[in-house]
Structure formats: C-alpha cells, structure tokens
A and B are shown apart, each in its own frame.
Chain A
Amino acid sequence: MNFDYNEDQRALADTVQRFVAREYSFEKRRAIRASNAGWSREVWQALADLGVLAINIDEDYGGLGYGPQETGLVMNAFGAGLLLEPYLATAVIAPALIRRTASADFQEQWLPAIASGESIVVLAHADARGEPVTELGGNLTGRKAVVAHGGCADLLLVSARMPSGDAGLFGINAGSEGVAVRDYPTLDGQRAADIVLDNTPAVRIDAGGALDHIDAALDIGLAALCAEAVGIMQATVAATTEYLKTRQQFGQPIGRFQALQHRMADMLLHQEQARSMSYLAAMHCTSQDKTARQRTLSAAKVTVGQACRFIAQNAVQLHGGMGMTDELMLSHWFKRLTTIEMSFGDTDSHLARFARLSRAA
C-alpha cells in the first residue's frame, strides 16, 4: 500500500499546476467566460502542446496511454483555476468511449485529432424528458438535454434507441443537416447545449452493448470529476482559512472564534474523506466487475457530492458578504462545486444506487 505518486506523475501534476497558475488568472478566466465561445482555443492548443489532451489516448493513436490516476492529477490541478475548456468531455470521456466502441478506422480518424487539439468530440447521452432520441433508417430524432460543451463539438457521440429496442451509439458531425444546437452558459460559467435532432443522418459507431460502454466511459469521467472537485475543495478551504486569519472583527481575527474553527474542521473532514474516495474512484473506475465498480463510484460520488455542498455553502457563509460577490474566485468555486454535486447523478441518486447494489452484492 502506497499513497505516493511516482516521479513522472508528480512532474505532470507540477506542470499542470504551473500552467494553471501562469495561464489562467482570475481576470483571464473572466475574459474567456465573456467571449462568444466561452472557452479558449488558445488555451486548448497550449494544453495539447503540453500533452495533457493525449493522456487518455493510446500510444497507437498519438496519445500517451496514461490512466485514471494521471487524469485525476490533471483534473485536480485544473480545480483551483476552474478551466472552462471541454477537457472532461473531450479528453477524458470521449476517448474512453471511442476506444471501447469504435472501429480502428474511426479511432484512427478521431483520436489523434483529439490528442492534437484539432477536434472537439463530445458525448450527448441524457435525453430531454419526453423527447428521447430514437433512430430510424440511420437517422436520429429527439432532444439531448444540457450536453456539457455540446455547442462546440465537431463530432457528437449520440446515444439513441433503435427499433430493436436496444440502444446504439451514433456519430453526428456538427453542422449536419437537421441538427439544431442551442448553446448556453451554465451556473458554473461553462457552456452546455440542448441538441435537437430532426431526422438527422448519423453513423453507427458501436457494434453492440452501447449502454454498457457509455456507462464505463462515464465512470471514468466520474472518477476524473471527483478529482477535480477535490482540487476545488482544497482551494476553497485554503482561501477560507486565509480569510479567517486576516478578517478582523471584535478586535481579533475571526478565525479565533471557536464556532468558526469547528466549522473549518468539519470542512477539512469533508475534504479529506472526499480525497480518499477520489483515490478509490480512480482505482476502481476501469474495473471489469460492473457491480463492484458502480458501487464504489456511487460511494465516491456521495462522499464527494456531500463535501461539495458542505464546503461550498460554508465557505460562502464564513466569507460573509464577500462570499456573495462575483469578484472573488470563491463564488465561482461555489458554483462549480454546486454544479459537480448535481452532475453525473446527484448525491441522493447515488446513495440509492449504492444501497441497491450493496443488497445485490
């Protein structure tokens, strides 16, 4: 048993941390957020140049062939800077899904393009209620809801119910006939889109078992999301600690008050329990045993989700009025932590799934 990262991993984390500190200041993020696209091609290319877009892609396809631990380190380092770029969608989930489902030709076409930063590929999975996406004669119809970074995708990986009743995974090129994209900002400052398909021509990607493959790819994404959340928690707890040491009221730093000290201790407990579960999630997210994998990932999401909520809410509370302002990074961490809790299944849904899987196991 060993909780230390190796030298290469530490170097990777260090590189990304320095990149975020240097290239992603609060002001720069604000400018990127206000831009039309809501994310930066320039930053994306810089990430490609650093190699971090390639870490989840096999060496055969121009990647580095790393795994969930390295992905976790990168996501953790992104946390403090709240990167707006589609890293989780395009550099983590999409490659995991493509390598599980697609033909060699398809992989050859798209994976090197993801690694080099040339192409944005995004999974569109959740249907809008009442408007499920279905396939008929190779064309798709229906609506995908709140697809993270769906608006900037060159290629959408779309799940659809086929006439057989099975689900299939299909590729749709952005700009195809019959694709309407409604792009919008989300609470956390990132972009998402509703994608309305109307008899849209699509290419079948998988050769069966699409839903299992999508679940597997999303689990890898969930482990990465947990690592990002822990990175944000660290930044949030550290900033709040610092604030409590400097903010003076009643003639002393407010951090001298026991009520606030205990709140901070509770925040640290949440942070460390979440960190532990993010390690466990990284270890189990590629497991072949689906029940064990989902059970562990649900446990991780419950722990991380509850920590997100607790730390975010209390960090704002302890900052007082300052915590409410758009001008502090704190409120942006708050919004991202809130978004993470509600993404990939919220705490309640994972708690229920864990209970179900525990009984089955």
Chain B
Amino acid sequence: MDLNFSPEDTAFREQVRRFVSENLPESIRHKVMNGIHLEREEHVRWQRILHAHGWGGVGWPKEFGGPGWSPTELYIFEEECARGGAPRLISFGLKMIAPVLMTFGNAAQQQRFLPKIMAAEEWWCQGYSEPGAGSDLASLKTRAVRDGYHYIVNGQKTWTTLGQYADWIFCLVRTDPEAKKQSGISFLLIDMKTPGVTVRPIITLDGAHEVNEVWLEDVKVPVENRIGEENRGWTYAKFLLGHERTNIAGIGIAKRELVRLKSIAEAEGRLDDPLFAARIAQVEIDLMALEITNLRVLSAEGAKKAPGPEASILKIKGTEIQQAIAELMMQAVGAYALPFRQTDVGPDYAANLGTGYCNLRKLSIFGGSNEIQKNIISQMIMGL
C-alpha cells in the first residue's frame, strides 16, 4: 500500500497546473473563483483552448482523439482544473453522449458527432427526465412512432440543464408501449432545430435560468439518429449514467470552495468562534476522508476491477460536502448573504453566497437523488 502519487502522476499534475495557469483567461477564472455563472461562450472558449492543446477529448481513449489518460490522470486533471479556477467540462457531450457513441454508435455516427463535441462546435443536452419520470426514469412516456425512415416524436422532457444552449439533445423515447417498462425504450439523437422542438426556461429558486422544459411535438427524427437497436435504449441509458459518475465526488471543486470558505470566514472573523471553526473542521475532515475513498475507488478501477456501485458512496458524500461548504459560506457572511442578486452592497465575496447556497440544493437531487444512491448501496453492495 502506498498512498503517494507516482512521480509520473506528480509530473503530470505539474504539467496540468502550469497549463491552466498559463492558458485560462483571467475573466473566466475570476468568475469561477467567485461562484459567478458562466455564459455559453465562456464554456466554449475554455473547451476550445483545451482542444487546441490536444486535450479536447478529456476522458476519451486515443482511438477517438482523446489523450487516453488513466482514471488517476483524469482525476488529477479535473482536480487541477478546479483548483486553478477553470470551468467544469461541458459534460453532456464529453462525458455523457460521447462514451455512448464510442461504445454503441456506428462509425457514421461517431464521425458525425465526436469531432464537433471535442471542438465545442456542437452543444448537447440530456433528454432523460420527464414530469412523470424522475427517479423512476423507466416510466417515461415520450412516444416515438416509426414512419418510414423517420420516427415521429411526441412528449415532454424536463430539468434539461443548459438546454437553451444546445444544438442537439439525446433522448430516451418509448418505441414499444406494450413492452415492460425498460424493454420498450429507444435512444434517439435529436437536432434541436427540428420543427416541433420548443425550449421553455424553468427559473430556479436562485433566480437563475439553468434548466428547461423541452417540448417535442411531431418532431421528425431520421432513423439513422437512433443509437444501437430499437427498444434497447435502456441498456445505453444505464451505461451513460455510469459514465456520468466519473468525477462525481467533485473533490477538486470542494477543495477550491473550502479554501474560499476559509478565506471568507477569516475575513469575517468567524474563525475565532470555536463552534464555527469546528463546523469548518468537520467538513474539511469529511473531505480528507472522501479524497482517500475516491482514490481507493479509482485505484480499483485502474486495476480493471469493475467500477461499480461504489460511485454512489462518492456521490452522496461529495454532494453533502459541497452543500455543507456552500451553507457555511452563506452563514459566515450573515446578513449580507441576503440581498438577492445584488452586486453593489456588502463585501464583494458575499454577492453570490445566498443564491449559491440555494442553487447547490440541486446536488443531492440530480444525477440520481441521494435517496436513490442509498437504494443502490443497500441493494447492490449490501445485498438487501
């Protein structure tokens, strides 16, 4: 057992750290470091900087133009990006649909879509959840009926993150209403410009427009935009959910936010309060433990042992920690956390803390709610 990173990994970390500090635009760094929402163009700009350096396909194997990193290298990359104030990767294309295309897509689909994901020329969004299908995703009702060379799609998707930016949406649709829940689902790629696709904003409690409803009314989707076989979509959907869970613990982001919390608490004189200092200590300790737990999971993954339901442990603890940090930051500034979406009152660092706290309540809900993760742990790991 050796808990130190190898010299190669340490050198790689240095390389990424230098790259981020030399190439990340200051205006973007400032926003990320202060919890300010990024515009589409800022995400795209960073992805294109990565792409120009040969790092466009983060997490991808070499055969598809990725850097072919190990799970540990990927972990280090994301940690260093977070540390340096780089935006999160645009995961819908890179981490969700891309692995599905690589594994289940045909050559034409791979050639059509993958390069544009890497170059940030096309933005993807996820058409999974529906008003009646959240945790029970397989009960989705969006209907696709075959009509010659097309499917005609009708239904409604919801909680579509950054759907307002998207060029394409990958959708789970029901192609066989007679079959049992999971067996009648297909996986379609839909051009957002197709007539009948309507995006309506959902404003969340922090006043932000991050998620959307996507309405599909008689949308014509060419059959060649189906992934794999008809009615096998659930298999691909579950595969995608597995990939969505890489970097699910968000260690790098939590570390960065913890540093921010401590500096705010210091500025506010809150570290002199032993009770508040102990609350920070608790979250810092939880994060230390989770970092090791995450590395244990990675190490098992690197050794080709199956990456399994352990990711649920990382999701629960990681989101709890990020939420706790956001909550403490808000508490640290007291009353100046309360002005709503104002930037000219109170200390600069206080401006986004109230809304930031509100926004991060999403963490324990999305990507499989933490209650669903506990179902997975008790059933898949513990056999209950």
A261-B378 contact given A1-B3, A256-B384, A276-B296, CB 8 Å threshold: yes
The residue that B378 contacts in the complex, of A2, A265, A273, A351, with Cβ under 8 A, is: A265
Knowing A264-B378, A302-B282, A359-B277 are in contact, say whether A269-B316 is a contact too (CB < 8 A): yes
Interface assignment of A258: CB less than 8 Å from any CB of chain B: yes
- A49 interfacial contact with B, CB 8 Å: no
Give the distance in Å from the alpha carbon of A299 to the alpha carbon of B280 in the complex: 12
Q: Is the CB of A276 within 8 A of B293?
A: yes
Residues of A within 8 A of B3 (CB): 1, 3, 279-280, 283
Give min CB distance, B108 to chain A, whole Å.
40
Interface presence of B14 (CB below 8 A): no
Contact B281 A255 (CB under 8 A): no
Asked if B150 is an interface residue, CB under 8 A from chain A, the answer is: no
- Which residues in B have their C-beta under 8 angstroms from that of A352? 274, 278, 281
Binds A, one of B4-12, B15-23, B39-47, B236-244: B4-12
Q: How far is the CB of A225 from chain B (nearest CB, A)?
A: 17
- Residues in A with CB closer than 8 Å to B72 are 1
Q: Which residues of A contact B271 (CB under 8 A)?
A: 359
The main secondary structure of chain B at its interface with chain A is helix
Q: Which residues from B are CB-within-8-Å of A303?
A: 285-286, 288-289
**Chain B residues whose C-beta falls within 8 Å of the C-beta of A269 in the assembled complex:** 313, 316-317, 377
**A299 and B284 alpha carbons, distance in the complex (Å):** 9
Interface: A89 (CB within 8 A): no
Q: A273 to B299, Cβ gap below 8 A?
A: no
By beta carbon, the residue of chain A nearest B384 is A255
Q: Is the CB of A4 within 8 A of B1?
A: yes
Which A residues between 274 and 292 are near B, CB-CB below 8 angstroms? 274-277, 279-280, 283
Does B290 sit within 8 A of A, measured CB to CB?
yes
Instruction: Determine if B1 and A69 form an interchain contact, defined as CB atoms under 8 angstroms apart.
Output: yes
Q: Are A302 and B1 in contact (CB under 8 A)?
A: no
Quick check: B371 and A262 within 8 Å, CB to CB?
A: yes
Report yes or no: A265 in contact with B377, Cβ–Cβ below 8 A. Answer: yes
Query: Hey, which chain A residues are within 8 Å of B1, CB to CB?
Result: 2-5, 9, 69, 279
In whole angstroms, how far apart are the Cα atoms of A276 and B9 in the complex?
A: 21
A31 within 8 A of B: no
The residues of B that contact A9 with a CB separation of less than 8 Å are 1
Inter-chain CA distance A269–B383, complex, in Å, is 15
How near does chain A come to B239, taking the closest CB pair, in angstroms? 24
Tell whether, in the assembled complex, residue A277 and residue B316 are in contact, meaning their CB atoms are under 8 Å apart.
Answer: no
Q: Is the CB of B374 within 8 A of A265?
A: yes
Asked if residues A1 and B382 are in contact (CB atoms below 8 Å), the reply is: no
Residue B381 at the chain A interface, CB threshold 8 Å: yes
Q: How large is the interface on B (under 10, 10 to 19, 20 to 34, 35 or more residues)?
A: 35 or more
Residue of A245, A355, A358 near B384 (CB, 8 A) is A245
Bound complex: CA A268 to CA B382 (Å): 9
**Per-residue interface assignment for chain A, residues 246 to 278, with 1 indicating a CB less than 8 Å from any chain B CB and 0 otherwise:** 000000000110101110111011001111110
A114 to chain B, nearest CB (A): 26
State in angstroms the CA–CA spacing of A340 and B280 once bound together: 24
Chain A contacts of B282 at CB under 8 A? 302, 351
CB of A119 within 8 Å of the partner chain:
no
- For the complex, is B263 an interface residue (Cβ under 8 Å from A)? no
B374 interface neighbour in A3, A255, A266, Cβ under 8 Å: A266
For the complex formed, measure the closest distance between the CB of A301 and the CB atoms of chain B, giving whole angstroms. Answer: 10
Please, which residues of chain A bring their CB within 8 A of the CB of B384? 241, 244-245, 255-256, 260-261, 264
A65-98 CB contacts (< 8 Å) to partner B: 69
Q: State the Cβ distance, B313 to closest chain A Cβ, in Å.
A: 6
Give A359's nearest chain B residue, CB to CB: B271
In the bound complex, what is the Cα–Cα distance between A282 and B289 (angstroms)? 13
Q: Is A354 an interface residue (CB 8 A)?
A: yes
Cα–Cα distance between A299 and B72 once the two chains are bound (Å): 24
Question: How far apart sit A359 and B277, CA to CA, in the bound complex (Å)?
Answer: 9
Q: A302–B5 contact, CB under 8 A?
A: no
A354 surroundings in chain B (CB, below 8 A) = 281, 284-285
Asked whether, in the complex, the Cβ of B299 is within 8 Å of the Cβ of A1, the reply is: yes
Interface string of A1-40 (1 = CB under 8 A from B): 1111100010000000000000000000000000000000
Which one of B295, B316, B371 contacts A3 once the chains associate, using CB atoms below 8 Å?
B295
Q: How far is the CB of A277 from chain B (nearest CB, A)?
A: 5
Interface string of A322-361 (1 = CB under 8 A from B): 0000000000000000000000000000011011001100
In the assembled complex, the Cα of A268 lies from the Cα of B381 at a distance in Å of: 9
| Chain B minimum-CB-distance residue to A254 | B384
Q: Which residues of A contact B6 (CB under 8 A)?
A: 1
CB-based contact A3/B296 at 8 Å: yes
Is B203 located at the chain interface by the 8 A CB criterion? no
Given that A258-B375, A280-B288, A280-B292 are contacting pairs, would A1 and B4 also be in contact in the complex, using a CB cutoff of 8 Å? yes
**Pairwise interchain contact B2-A273, C-beta atoms closer than 8 A:** no
Q: Which of A256, A268, A274, A277 contacts B288 (CB 8 A)?
A: A277
Q: Do A273 and B317 have beta carbons less than 8 Å apart?
A: yes
Complex: how many Å from CA A200 to CA B289? 46
Contact, CB under 8 Å: A277 / B2:
no
Q: B313 contacts A302, CB within 8 Å?
A: no
State in angstroms the CA–CA spacing of A352 and B303 once bound together: 38
Residues of B close to A355: CB separation below 8 A: 274, 277-278, 280-281
Q: How far is the CB of A148 from chain B (nearest CB, A)?
A: 26
B247 to chain A, nearest CB (A): 17
Rounded to whole angstroms, the CA-CA distance of A270 and B184 in the bound complex is: 39
Would you list the 8 A-B pairs with minimal beta carbon distance, nearest first? A276-B292, A261-B378, A265-B374, A355-B281, A265-B377, A255-B384, A273-B289, A355-B277
Excluding A9-B1, A244-B384, A255-B378, 17 further A-B contacts by CB distance (< 8 Å) are A1-B9, A3-B295, A69-B1, A261-B375, A261-B378, A262-B374, A262-B378, A264-B382, A265-B377, A268-B377, A268-B382, A275-B293, A276-B293, A280-B3, A352-B274, A355-B274, A359-B271
**29 A-B interface contacts by CB (under 8 A):** A1-B4, A1-B9, A1-B72, A1-B299, A9-B1, A245-B383, A255-B384, A258-B375, A261-B374, A261-B375, A262-B378, A264-B378, A265-B316, A265-B382, A268-B382, A269-B377, A273-B289, A273-B317, A276-B290, A276-B293, A280-B288, A302-B282, A303-B288, A303-B289, A351-B278, A351-B281, A352-B281, A355-B274, A355-B277
A interface list, Cβ under 8 A from B: 1-5, 9, 69, 241, 244-245, 255-256, 258, 260-262, 264-266, 268-269, 272-277, 279-280, 283, 296, 299, 302-303, 351-352, 354-355, 358-359
